[in-house]
Amino acid sequence: MNLFDLTLFLMILLVVFQFWRMRAITEKANQHLAQYCDQHGLQLISNARHKTRLGSYRGKLDWQSCFVFEFSGNGENSYQGTLTMAGKHILKVDTPAYRID
């Protein structure tokens, strides 16, 4: 095994680790959004990752993610909200004014 093989192996390992980390962040976001909608009496329709970038949060380098989710308050209208995360930490959930029947 030479230096090129070792470097290639480490890069592949890093990519696999980051993929695994992104999946864990997405699962945490899905769980939080489901819980948030249950607590507020909303119906969660869908969610998707809007953007992700590498950034610093409390001195730690981690992924900064923004998720967009659709929800309904009355089963007829749908609205879009955003969930902002730093790593696995939920920073904020923004929802517009919505109708409840």
Beta-sheet pairing, 60-72 with 89-94: unpaired
How confident is the model over 42-94, as pLDDT tens digits?
Answer: 999 999 999 999 999 899 999 999 999 999 998 889 999 999 999 999 999 99
Give the pTM.
Answer: 0.86
pLDDT at res. 75: 85
Confidence of residue 8 (pLDDT cuts 50, 70, 90): very high
Q: Which residues contact 30 (CB under 8 A, 6 or more apart)?
A: 47
pLDDT at res. 23: 96
98 pLDDT higher than 90? no
Q: Which residues contact 10 (CB under 8 A, 6 or more apart)?
A: none
